[in-house]
Chain A
Amino acid sequence: MLNSTNANEAAAKITALVVDDSRINQSIHRKLLENLGIENQVAGNGKEAVDVHCSGKQFDLILMDMDMPIMNGIEATRTLRAMGIRSTIAGVSSHAHNENIQEFVNAGLDDYQEKPLTISKLISILQKVNIN
Chain B
Amino acid sequence: MDSNGVVSWPRMPENMDAFALSPEQSQEVHVLAVDDSLVDRKVIERLLKVLACKVTAVDSGLRALQLLGLLDEQKMASETFVGLKVDLIITDYCMPGMTGYELLKKIKESSTFKETPVVIMSSENVLPRIDRCLEEGAEDFIVKPVKLSDVKRLKDYMTTKEVRGESQDREGNNYKRKLLDTSDVSPSSPPSISSSTLPSSPSVIDSPIRRLKMTSTD
Instruction: Tell me, yes or no, whether A binds B.
Output: no
Residues of chain A having any CB pair with chain B under 8 Å: none
